[in-house]
Structure 1
Amino acid sequence: MRILILNWRDTRHPKSGGAEAVTMEYAKWWVHAGHKVTWFTSGYKGAKKEELIDNVRILRQAGSQTVYLLAPFYLLLHSHEYDLIVDEVHGIPFFSPLCTSKPIIVFIHEIAGDIWNFMYNPPISWIGKHMEEWYLRLYRKKLFWTDAESTGHELMERGIKRNQITVIHCPIPNFTRHIALQVHVKKEKVPTFIFVSRVVKMKGIEEVVKAFAFVQKELPLAKLWIVGGGEDRYVKKIVSMIREYGIYEKVTWFGKLNEKEKLIRMAKAHILLHASVKEGWGLVVLEAGFLYTPSVVYNVAGLRDVVRDGHTGIVITDNSPIELARASLHLYQDREIYKKYQTNAHTWAESLTWTDAGKKSDAFLKEAVRQVL
């Protein structure tokens, strides 16, 4: 089968994230299964217009601002070369139903919803939220694929039928797993909490800083590690906030680390804190769990799915910094529960394999083509 993936970035893009890493794992699996895979995406400074990565053909035929405009033209001219289109949504889709009659799968990690309010000011935020409702109507007869049950429920609330939705839990990327298996470090001697994400408002860094300020009052030796970069203006705002709370000496900001250094920090920390507005799945939670670091998270889509509440970590009931702090303190201070969650988090992360996810995705793709033929 000839598969075309439409995605705004590929794994070598400087701003690529977990979604791209996961998509590449699926793409590699499809190639291994005998399919031909092409990935249409945007370019970046110094990028090749076309290259082969793990036998996946990467076409960088647009800029970051034009990829959504040029992809439809590419479809109009080349859709006859493919048997299936994977239209991957990041806030907005590629509007592929307007350009081709070929089978289409909508690969959506989350319904953006209120994320628009955190990422953009009016009127863009208003336009984004309403456009989301419109494009879902455009795709209402297509098959949807997502990572978490919460997103599936949100799709149904917006009119997509249950039998159109397939949920496949994605494992941590094989590249990450391989490195994680080589990480053998002990936990820090003092209570250490970690935040791993892009430093943007919607990822909840402000909530985590506030929560840690509460934790630090109870555990004066506690530390907070921040792993991830962001725009200078927002980073400066967070640094000022840390100073205002009087915890500057207790917070270490590592910026964006390479994969090995990131995993070492995750393994040394005691608890991962995540207070995002919404996630598609929360891959970083699985990565931490694989390294025996349980998580305390907000009760939002994606995070409530990837954390097995009361088993691999804690999903708080009231999304507030004080509750995040209380739950974190409870988990850290109850050593028996903490050790149980450590083991469970590792077992859960280890149980999700690409062999299983790949087979499920392959069966789903074939079913999508059969339904159209």
Structure 2
Amino acid sequence: MRIAFLNWRDSTHPEGGGAEHYAETVCRGLVARGHTVTLYCAAHGDAPASETVEGVHVRRQGGRLGVYAASTRALRADERAHGRYDVVVDVQNGVPFLSVLSTRSPVVSLIHHVHREQWPVVFGPVSARIGWLIESRLSPRAYRGRQYVAVSERTREELAGLGVDEQHIAVIHNGTDEPVALGTARRPDPTIVVLGRLVPHKRVEHAIDVLARLRPTTPGLRLRVIGQGWWHDEIAAHAEQSGMADDVDLLGFVEDGVKHAELAGAWLALAPSVKEGWGLCVVEAASHGVPTIAYTNAGGLSESIVHQRTGVLVDDLDEMTHEVARLLADHEAREEMGAHARDYARQFTWSGTVGAWERLLLHTARGKAPVAMTDAQSLTVRG
């Protein structure tokens, strides 16, 4: 198949994160299975406008908002020059590309999570209302009758609440990167880790607040934050204002080997985000036997964490603080939970994710009706 992916950013973008890792891993996996894949995404810095990375053709054009029109123009131009794609994957990160208006190729809408809670966190009241109107009203109408993909059952439920036909939504989970065999032991001092982009809705400040509450009674306690983003200075300022600047390590972007070493050395992980589609950070920590504590009503985190088995789901900051204190003090409970987390993470493989996508895209490219499957298990490659 010739496949197009429209994604807001790619992983080389300074604000790239889990959604970009998901898209690129699927793209590379499809290329490895013999398909031709083009990824359309935003331009940034000195990144070339066009290049081929691990077999994936990457086309960068447009900025934060201009990427939508620029990518669909490039899509139309490429289809005029080389013929229609067999299928187009339109990744909606709050704002849709509306590729259904630009191509006659079958379109699949991939949605990691619904942004109801994020709009007012990141934007002012007027922009937030406009954004939510586009996401909740315009988009479901534009993609009505098309195949949807969600990355968790929670996202599928939320899409259905917006009026999307639940029988048109397949669920294809994230995979888990194979953990690097580093032989890294847990740090001798109690260590909490947060992994993710530094943006407001990730609420890294809550992890700092937990640290501030527990540091007086937990000698040596540290917080290590892995990730970069435009909210870095605000997080650093919050650590300073909380008196925790000396106990918080903002590590920024790190290479994969360093990331795995940091996760393997942590005692606990926190995911205080407002909303996640799945929670790639959770299963990455779990692959090293590190349980995560997150909020119950944060979308897919209630699925990537099995409550009180692979991690803990809490309702507020007070409860998060209590559970962190409990698990830091109980080595046996923490290690048992970590072992269950590691076993759970092993169920989610990128090869399984890519295989599910291949089956679903072949199904869609043949003009067949949208389906509701978990990981597209019952679809066959034969046709």
Fold match (TM-score > 0.5): yes
- d(CA) in 2 for partners of 1:200, 1:253: 13
Other structure's SS at 1:225 match: strand
Task: Show the 5 A alignment for 1:1-373.
Answer: 1-79=1-79, 80-133=83-136, 134-173=138-177, 177=178, 180-231=179-230, 234-299=231-296, 300-316=298-314, 318=315, 320-372=316-368
Once the two structures are superposed, what CA deviation does each residue of 1:114-142 show, in whole Å capped at 9, x if it has no partner?
Answer: 20111111211111111112112211211
* One-letter identity of the residue aligned with 2:272: A
- d(CA) in 2 for partners of 1:247, 1:187: 22
CA contact (8 A) 1:114 1:129 kept: no
Q: Tell me whether 247-256 or 351-360 shows the greater mean CA deviation.
A: 247-256
- d(CA) in 1 for partners of 2:245, 2:55: 47
Once the two structures are superposed, what CA deviation does each residue of 1:142-170 show, in whole Å capped at 9, x if it has no partner?
Answer: 11111111100000111111210111111
Change beyond 3 A, Cα 1:349–1:212: same
Residue 224 of structure 1: CA displacement? 1.4
Q: How many residues align?
A: 364
- d(CA) in 2 for partners of 1:98, 1:26: 24
CA contact (8 A) 2:222 2:247 kept: yes
Residue 17 of structure 1: CA displacement? 1.4
CA contact (8 A) 2:180 2:257 kept: no
* One-letter identity of the residue aligned with 2:321: A
Residue 272 of structure 1: CA displacement? 0.5
Other structure's SS at 1:351 match: coil
* One-letter identity of the residue aligned with 1:123: V
Once the two structures are superposed, what CA deviation does each residue of 1:49-77 show, in whole Å capped at 9, x if it has no partner?
Answer: 22211111112243444211122323333
CA contact (8 A) 1:146 1:165 kept: yes
Residue 258 of structure 1: CA displacement? 2.2
Root mean square deviation of aligned Cα? 1.8
- d(CA) in 1 for partners of 2:242, 2:47: 42
State the 4+ residue runs in structure 1 displaced beyond 6 angstroms. Answer: none
Q: Tell me whether 358-367 or 211-220 shows the greater mean CA deviation.
A: 211-220
Residue 372 of structure 1: CA displacement? 5.0
Once the two structures are superposed, what CA deviation does each residue of 1:229-249 show, in whole Å capped at 9, x if it has no partner?
Answer: 333xx4444334323333333
- d(CA) in 1 for partners of 2:78, 2:38: 12
TM-score by structure 1 length?
0.92
Residue 46 of structure 1: CA displacement? 2.2
* One-letter identity of the residue aligned with 1:228: G
Other structure's SS at 1:340 match: helix
CA contact (8 A) 1:92 1:132 kept: yes
Structure-1 residue corresponding to 2:380: none
Once the two structures are superposed, what CA deviation does each residue of 1:81-101 show, in whole Å capped at 9, x if it has no partner?
Answer: 311110011121110111222
* One-letter identity of the residue aligned with 1:90: N
CA contact (8 A) 2:84 2:105 kept: no
Other structure's SS at 1:213 match: helix
- d(CA) in 1 for partners of 2:247, 2:5: 44
Q: Where does structure 2 lack aligned partners over 5 or more consecutive residues?
A: 370-383
Change beyond 3 A, Cα 1:353–1:94: same
* One-letter identity of the residue aligned with 2:193: I
Change beyond 3 A, Cα 1:305–1:76: same
Q: Tell me whether 3-12 or 54-63 shows the greater mean CA deviation.
A: 54-63
Once the two structures are superposed, what CA deviation does each residue of 1:318-362 show, in whole Å capped at 9, x if it has no partner?
Answer: 1x2211111112222222221111111112222211222222111
- d(CA) in 2 for partners of 1:216, 1:14: 32
* One-letter identity of the residue aligned with 1:147: V
Q: Where does structure 1 lack aligned partners over 5 or more consecutive residues?
A: none
- d(CA) in 1 for partners of 2:229, 2:101: 35
- d(CA) in 1 for partners of 2:229, 2:170: 33
CA contact (8 A) 1:44 1:64 kept: no
CA contact (8 A) 1:112 1:129 kept: yes
TM-score by structure 2 length?
0.90
- d(CA) in 2 for partners of 1:99, 1:360: 26
Once the two structures are superposed, what CA deviation does each residue of 1:235-276 show, in whole Å capped at 9, x if it has no partner?
Answer: 444334323333333222222222222221111110001110
Change beyond 3 A, Cα 1:362–1:324: same
CA contact (8 A) 1:186 1:267 kept: yes
CA contact (8 A) 1:214 1:322 kept: no
Change beyond 3 A, Cα 1:112–1:34: same
- d(CA) in 2 for partners of 1:55, 1:293: 34
Q: What is the aligned-residue identity percentage?
A: 29
Once the two structures are superposed, what CA deviation does each residue of 1:281-309 show, in whole Å capped at 9, x if it has no partner?
Answer: 11111111111211111111021111111
